[in-house]
């Protein structure tokens, strides 16, 4: 009898464990259900993924992988395709904190209404403002010497530095010594872009550097050059970049004014200081997808979008630290890549920010993909998400549609 009781108990235990595992697996499989993004009267039209040729089963797998932490900290993932926002999901993650452990602040649940630091995606906003300024006649063209618009810094026009053009700053090819990728970012002001917070004159701190290469010949990631572009825009238009962006870019996109960070002397940090909601990031990306047009209104010159989506001169085969993007080209602050889709290479260009911020534009797929994240001290694997889940979601649905 005792042996029988033990056997029964073992059987019940095994049955319980199997049931529990099965329920957990079922629960995990169904813990995320696709929902059409909510219409929020923000200018974005929303719609069902399947109507845009996107297979939601792949996206469900992506969400579950993100929730398991397989891609470190992803805070949001949005897909805009065929003129509609068809996918939108937010996750838990840490706020950015300059002096926090691994740059992490409070753990929060990110939502559509919360603005997120977009880091160096800010550079692409600055670039757009320069393109608009040229179209409106504030600046003649990108081939002008930067010193044409720096009246207070003429004393730095030495040693042939007058040959640095606006285009050289936009393409990170000004040739001046600058080290932004070899040191840890944040907290202790250890590398060049952070040191701009400690100096009295950021423009001088950039332009006093010695030569590393002839302008236009060599790529060196230089956020300081973007701060110089902000100063050029202010001197050319009479508006600082915050006012200019609000007037000529954000207002047209239906984006409420967003503050830019200021240095202690009042100059605006125009390289990485903006925060936007992911939906606002989608709007900006959609404007570029539509060759500078948003809601049938021309905002950014079409030629500027073209220049932004093709590598400049020798800006090829560049590897970005702590991300999985491989080798990239670089244009007017936008990164250019090729990805596999349905057996062929397609182009993607993106505004890119430290920590996993990205506005990815896929012209051939009529698609924009936006991510925000908190991978400040960990590797960002956004390409793996796109290649494993997003692109197959588009191709597999189209294949199924063809077969049916």
User: Domain residues for 205?
Assistant: 116-397
| Domain total in the chain | 1
Residue 26 has pLDDT above 60, yes or no: no
* C-alpha gyration radius of the chain: 24
Given this model, what pLDDT does residue 397 score? 57
Q: 187-201: per-residue pLDDT in tens?
A: 566 678 889 999 999
Per-residue pLDDT band at 185 (split at 50, 70, 90): low
Residue 18 has pLDDT above 80, yes or no: no
Separation CA 227–CA 404 (nearest Å): 54
Q: 133-145: per-residue pLDDT in tens?
A: 999 999 999 999 9
3-state secondary structure (DSSP) of residue 348: strand
CATH number reported for the structural domain that contains residue 177 in this entry: 3.40.710.10
* Residue 89 lies inside a defined structural domain of this protein: no
Write the DSSP assignment of 250-269 as a string of letters.
IHHHT----PPPB-TTS-B-
Separation CA 73–CA 375 (nearest Å): 6
Beta bridge partners of 366: none
* Residue 283 lies inside a defined structural domain of this protein: yes
* Residue 108 lies inside a defined structural domain of this protein: no
Q: Which stretches does DSSP call E strand in 7-73?
A: none
* Residue 60 lies inside a defined structural domain of this protein: no
* Residue 11 lies inside a defined structural domain of this protein: no
Residue 88 has pLDDT above 90, yes or no: yes
* Residue 77 lies inside a defined structural domain of this protein: no
* Residue 275 lies inside a defined structural domain of this protein: yes
């Amino acid at each position: 009898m005792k042996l029988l009781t033990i056997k029964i108990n073992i059987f019940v235990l095994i049955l319980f464990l199997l049931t529990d595992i099965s329920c957990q697996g079922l629960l995990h499989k169904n813990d995320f259900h696709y929902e059409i993004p909510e219409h929020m009267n923000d200018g974005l039209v929303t719609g069902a993924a399947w109507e845009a040729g996107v297979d939601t089963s792949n996206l469900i797998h992506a969400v579950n992988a993100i929730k398991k932490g397989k891609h470190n900290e992803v805070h949001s993932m949005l897909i805009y395709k065929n003129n509609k926002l068809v996918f939108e999901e937010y996750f838990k993650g840490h706020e950015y904190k300059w002096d926090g452990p691994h740059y992490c602040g409070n753990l929060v649940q990110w939502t559509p209404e919360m603005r997120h630091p977009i880091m160096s995606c800010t550079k692409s906003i600055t670039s757009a403002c320069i393109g608009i300024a040229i179209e409106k006649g504030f600046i003649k063209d990108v081939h002008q010497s930067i010193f044409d618009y720096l009246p207070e810094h003429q004393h730095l026009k030495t040693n042939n530095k007058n040959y640095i053009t606006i285009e050289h700053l936009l393409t990170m090819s000004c040739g001046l010594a600058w080290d932004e990728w070899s040191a840890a970012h944040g907290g202790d002001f250890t590398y060049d872009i952070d040191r701009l917070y400690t100096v009295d004159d950021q423009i001088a701190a950039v332009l006093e550097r010695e030569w590393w290469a002839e302008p236009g010949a060599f790529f060196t990631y230089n956020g300081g050059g973007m701060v110089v572009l902000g100063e050029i825009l202010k001197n050319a238009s009479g508006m600082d970049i915050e006012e200019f962006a609000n007037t000529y870019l954000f207002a047209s996109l239906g984006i409420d004014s967003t503050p830019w960070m200021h240095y202690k002397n009042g100059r605006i940090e125009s390289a990485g200081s903006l925060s936007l909601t992911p939906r606002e990031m989608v709007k900006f990306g959609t404007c570029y997808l539509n060759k500078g047009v948003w809601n049938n209104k021309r905002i950014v010159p079409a030629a500027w979008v073209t220049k932004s989506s093709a590598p400049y001169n020798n800006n090829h085969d560049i590897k970005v630290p702590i991300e999985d993007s491989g080798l990239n080209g670089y244009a007017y602050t936008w990164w250019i890549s090729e990805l596999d889709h349905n057996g062929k290479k397609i182009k993607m260009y993106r505004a890119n920010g430290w920590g996993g911020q990205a506005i990815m534009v896929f012209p051939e797929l009529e698609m924009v993909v936006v991510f925000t994240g908190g991978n400040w001290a960990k590797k960002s694997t956004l390409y793996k998400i796109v290649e494993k889940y997003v692109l197959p979601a588009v191709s597999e649905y189209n294949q199924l549609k063809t077969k049916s």
